[in-house]
Every structure is written in C-alpha cells, then in structure tokens.
C-alpha cells in the first residue's frame, strides 16, 4: 500500500512531538510505502530535514505557503478569466469563508490551471469582495478588507495548485491546509482520506488569532471562520476521523465531523526502552525535567514564573528544559525572563536524547496551553517519573486515569497559565520523595497497560483496513 501522509509545519523540518511520532510511525510499517507531503512556511525550508528519512519513504513533496506558486504542468493562465455560475458560487463561498464546493474549486485551480495571482487580481475577485464588504463590513476601509482577504486566500490557493502525488490513501495529520490537500488528492485519484488529529487544529488557530496582534480586530472573526472552513473541508471529505482520546472526538463532532466516522486511537510509546530506568538516589537536590519544544503553545514563560517560586522554597532545585528552539524569538524572550526573575537553577539543554537523560530527573513538568496526548508525559510515566501538567488535552485523564484504570494518581494536573498553582504542585513533589515514587509506579503501570507503541501501530493498521472497507461501500 502507498500511503501519503500530509503534515503542516512539523515532520521532517522540526523534531519532537508529532514529528517524532510520525518518524516512528513510518519506521514501524516497513511493509508499506510512504509519500511525505510536507507543508512549510516558505521555500527557504525546502530540503532542510531534521530526520534521515526511513527507507520506505519513496517520495517527498514540499509545498510552501509563501513564495511564487509554481506553474502546474504548463497550464498556468493569464489575461481574461471566465467563470460559470457554479464556479462563481464556489468562489463567493470561499471568499466569504462559508461552505464552498471544494470539488468545484479543485476544478478551477487544478484542471483549468487558473493561477492564484490571476484570480486575486481579477475583476471577479474585486466584485465579490465589494459585495461582501458592503453587506458585512460597511464601516471598514475596503483596502483593509481587500488586503486581509488576499493574504488569507493566497496561501490556500497556492496549496490547491500544487502537483498531487499519487497514493492509495491520503492520511492527513491535521485539518487546516493539510486537510485540504488530502481532500484534493482524494478528489483527483478517487481514494479515501484518513484524518488523524493530535490536537484540535481549529481550536488552536482560534486561540492564536484571539491573542494575535497582527490581526485587525474587525477581521478576527473572519480569520477564525477561515480556519473553520478549512476544517470543514477535511471533516466532510474524510472517510474516517481519528483522535487520541474520547473528549477530542466529541470536539471534532461538534466542529463538523460525522459521528459514524470517528474513532479513538491512543498514542503509544516504546515502553520497554524506558521501563528499566530506576529512581534517582535520594541524596542531592531535586532535578525536574521539562521535555518540550520551546514555543508559545508550550507556555515556557509560565513554567519559569512557577519555578521562580519553587526556587525560593526548595534549596538547590534544578529545572532542565530540553527541546528544540523552534521559535528563536520566543526562546530569547524566555532567557530574558529567566534573567529578569533572577532564576539560577534553570538549564536550557537544547535537543537531547530523552532516553539518555530521563534517569537524571525526579519528575517532569509540562505547562502547555494546548496539547493532545503528549508523548513526553507517556515517556515520563514509562520511566517511573510522575508529571505535573496543565489541564489541556487529555492530561487530566493521563494523570488520574479513567474508566477501568485503577492504577492511581501519577502526578498533578493544574489549570493552564496559573504559575502559582503550577509552583505548588512542583513544590509538593519536590518535598515528598515517597509520593514521587508512588505516583511514578502508577504512571509506569498506566503506560504499560494502555500506551504501548506496538498496540498503537496495530490499531492504525486495522484502521486502514476499515477505511478501505468503508470507502468501497
């Protein structure tokens, strides 16, 4: 089977998180061929891979959201454009961020070869914009609306113009632009789409836009509707939609996924690699590990504020922040905050081999404002280390268990963006070695029972079989 996996802003350009998951996923299925269809921010990232791709990756296609859109098969057109009523309806719904006919749009930008630049410079575009602006933005400068919509649509149209690799199934690891590409591939080659979400892409983009300074207040709702539109394309075009835990599946249904198409497939880690790690000796200061990407969504700043409190009460405590600096500007702000707070016990380690260093930590901490089912927590559990997390994604279920899980509490779960609550939980684990060990044992048993990598791979192989069965009927 030839599987096209579609990813945005992660594998193979960055390490950790979904990228690590994807790399191990492909390695675990040597019987299948994989095409990696990778979406990046701009062409300067092309070819700059952080992974040596597995042998069963037979093709890599790279798509950039900025830069010049390539001509597709010599079909690029210019000059006068003509659209029929069905095409105009689809284009109007697209610009309005409604529910466009995606197959009609694919026909326009793939089969007809209309270029994004030509359409966005056309009278058709201006006429549609003018109509919508008069109705919905009567007190907003037309130039602001024009440039907002143009900047919104140009990356999407470039994505829709790209050459499509052939595959037996398109497996997108998010909605958004990746979901649109999956639906495009399905439309062109008449094969199924499998959508897997680790976090809920739409909700994450919504949170970012609400906080963003680059979005004019008048257009925040428009940008949010844009990403909901992209998610609708993915959900309505997917033969099956998987999530990591039941609550996420309910959110997908709320946004637009078909309940009959939804499945839950939990993450899995290589339990046996971590299971032999023993507890640290009781002598010496407590050492805390934070294994994450240094990026705003991980909210490292809240962690630093919390640790500044912990350091005042726990002598010699250390916090080791390990992970890639995917956002250099944010990483610099974190270091500046460390200096401003006078924190002495924080060490930024950069990217590490987690397996080699996990034994140096007494417990781990994660302060994210959004997560799915974080692998770093599962690996911490497998090593017998409890974890302090924020109440995002399914972290609460991981810490306390659910259903028939009776293994007990494996750390603490606190509200996000509350440094005092995070500090109190960290201090408690620092002071109570016996509690750390007890919680560590609970986490280890939970990981062993429910979150093994081999079980996850078997479940996804079964899911592919079900996807083909559902699509054929």
User: Could you tell me if residue 111 is inside a domain?
Assistant: yes
Together in a domain, 143 and 183: no
Write out pLDDT tens, residues 277-294: 999 987 789 999 999 999
User: Could you tell me if residue 458 is inside a domain?
Assistant: no
What does the alpha-carbon distance between residue 269 and residue 87 come to, in Å, rounded to a whole number?
47
What does the alpha-carbon distance between residue 369 and residue 364 come to, in Å, rounded to a whole number?
16
Write out pLDDT tens, residues 449-465: 999 999 999 999 999 99
pLDDT at site 451: 97
Together in a domain, 302 and 395: yes
Average pLDDT over residues 205-232: 94
Q: How many other CB atoms sit within 10 Å of the CB of residue 272?
A: 12
pLDDT at site 410: 98
Together in a domain, 169 and 38: yes
User: Could you tell me if residue 432 is inside a domain?
Assistant: yes
Q: How confident is the model at residue 271 (pLDDT cuts 50, 70, 90)?
A: very high
Q: How confident is the model at residue 73 (pLDDT cuts 50, 70, 90)?
A: very low
Average pLDDT over residues 171-183: 97
Together in a domain, 63 and 210: yes
User: Could you tell me if residue 383 is inside a domain?
Assistant: yes
Please answer whether residues 66 and 155 qualify as being in contact, where contact means their C-beta atoms are separated by less than 8 angstroms. yes
Together in a domain, 205 and 89: no
Together in a domain, 175 and 232: yes
User: Is the pLDDT confidence value at 80 over 60?
Assistant: no
Together in a domain, 65 and 109: no
Together in a domain, 415 and 330: yes
Q: How confident is the model at residue 68 (pLDDT cuts 50, 70, 90)?
A: low
Write out pLDDT tens, residues 350-405: 999 999 999 999 999 999 999 999 999 999 999 999 999 999 999 999 999 998 99
Q: What's the Cα-to-Cα distance from 401 to each of 28, 162, 213, 270, rounded to whole Å?
A: 27, 44, 39, 20
314: closest CA among 363, 357, 265? Answer: 363
Write out pLDDT tens, residues 301-325: 999 999 999 999 999 999 999 999 8
β-pair partners for 240 = 194
159: closest CA among 227, 106, 223? Answer: 106
Q: Hey, what's the torsion of the CAs at 63, 68, 74, 80, to 10 degrees?
A: 130
User: Could you tell me if residue 417 is inside a domain?
Assistant: yes
Together in a domain, 277 and 396: yes
Cα Rg of the chain (Å, integer): 24
User: Is the pLDDT confidence value at 341 over 60?
Assistant: yes
What does the alpha-carbon distance between residue 292 and residue 413 come to, in Å, rounded to a whole number?
17
Q: How many domains does the chain have?
A: 3
Q: Of 134, 155, 176, which one is at a domain's C-terminal end?
A: 155
What does the alpha-carbon distance between residue 191 and residue 208 come to, in Å, rounded to a whole number?
33
Portion of the chain with pLDDT greater than 70, in percent: 97
What does the alpha-carbon distance between residue 150 and residue 202 come to, in Å, rounded to a whole number?
20
Average pLDDT, the chain: 94
Give 183-214 as a 3 state SS string: HHHHHHHCCCEEEEECCCHHHHHHHHHHHCCC
User: Could you tell me if residue 457 is inside a domain?
Assistant: no
Domain of 350, CATH number, reads 3.40.50.2000
Domain that holds residue 116: 75-155
Q: How many other CB atoms sit within 10 Å of the CB of residue 207?
A: 14
Average pLDDT over residues 201-208: 92
Q: How many other CB atoms sit within 10 Å of the CB of residue 324?
A: 19
Please answer whether residues 195 and 238 qualify as being in contact, where contact means their C-beta atoms are separated by less than 8 angstroms. yes
User: Could you tell me if residue 323 is inside a domain?
Assistant: yes
Together in a domain, 203 and 287: no
User: Is the pLDDT confidence value at 81 over 70?
Assistant: yes
Together in a domain, 286 and 231: no
User: Is the pLDDT confidence value at 72 over 60?
Assistant: no
Q: How confident is the model at residue 74 (pLDDT cuts 50, 70, 90)?
A: very low
User: Could you tell me if residue 410 is inside a domain?
Assistant: yes
Together in a domain, 280 and 149: no
């Amino acid at each position: 089977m030839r599987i096209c996996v579609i990813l945005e802003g992660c594998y193979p350009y960055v390490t950790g998180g979904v990228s690590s998951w994807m790399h191990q996923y492909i390695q675990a299925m040597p019987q299948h061929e994989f095409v990696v269809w990778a979406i990046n921010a701009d062409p300067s990232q092309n070819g700059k891979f952080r992974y040596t791709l597995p042998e069963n990756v037979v093709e890599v296609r790279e798509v950039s959201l900025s830069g010049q859109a390539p001509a597709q098969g010599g079909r690029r057109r210019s000059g006068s454009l003509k659209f029929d009523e069905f095409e105009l309806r689809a284009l109007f719904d697209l610009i309005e961020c409604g529910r466009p006919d995606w197959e009609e749009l694919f026909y326009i930008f793939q089969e007809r070869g209309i270029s994004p630049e030509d359409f966005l410079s056309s009278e058709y575009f201006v006429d549609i914009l003018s109509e919508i602006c008069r109705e919905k933005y009567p007190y907003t400068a037309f130039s602001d609306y024009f440039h907002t919509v143009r900047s919104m649509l140009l990356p999407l149209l470039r994505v829709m113009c790209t050459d499509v690799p052939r595959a037996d199934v398109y497996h997108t690891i998010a909605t958004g632009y990746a979901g649109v590409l999956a639906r495009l591939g399905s439309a062109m080659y008449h094969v199924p789409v499998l959508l897997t979400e680790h976090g809920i892409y739409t909700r994450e983009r919504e949170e970012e836009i609400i906080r963003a300074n680059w979005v004019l207040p008048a257009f925040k709702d428009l940008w949010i509707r844009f990403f909901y539109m992209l998610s609708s394309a993915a959900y309505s075009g997917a033969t099956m939609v998987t999530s990591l835990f039941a609550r996420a599946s309910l959110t997908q249904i709320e946004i637009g996924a078909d309940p009959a198409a939804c499945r839950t497939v939990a993450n899995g880690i290589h339990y046996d690699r971590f299971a032999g790690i023993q507890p640290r000796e009781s002598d010496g200061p407590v050492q805390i590990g934070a294994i994450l990407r240094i990026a705003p969504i991980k909210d490292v700043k809240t962690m630093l504020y919390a640790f500044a409190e912990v350091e005042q009460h726990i002598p010699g405590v250390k916090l080791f922040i390990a992970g890639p600096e995917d956002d250099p500007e944010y990483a610099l702000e974190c270091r500046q905050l460390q200096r401003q707070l006078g924190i002495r016990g924080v060490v930024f380690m950069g990217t590490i081999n987690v397996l080699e260093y996990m034994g140096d930590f007494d417990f781990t901490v994660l302060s994210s404002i959004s997560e799915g089912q974080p692998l770093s927590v599962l690996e911490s559990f497998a090593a017998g280390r409890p974890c302090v997390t924020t109440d995002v994604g399914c972290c609460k279920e991981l810490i306390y268990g659910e259903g028939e899980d009776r293994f007990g509490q494996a750390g603490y779960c606190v509200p996000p963006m509350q440094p005092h609550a995070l500090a109190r939980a960290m201090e408690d684990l620092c002071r109570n070695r016996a509690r750390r060990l007890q919680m560590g044992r609970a986490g280890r048993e939970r990981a062993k029972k429910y979150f093994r990598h081999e079980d996850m791979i078997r479940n996804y192989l079964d899911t592919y079989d079900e996807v083909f069965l559902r699509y054929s009927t």
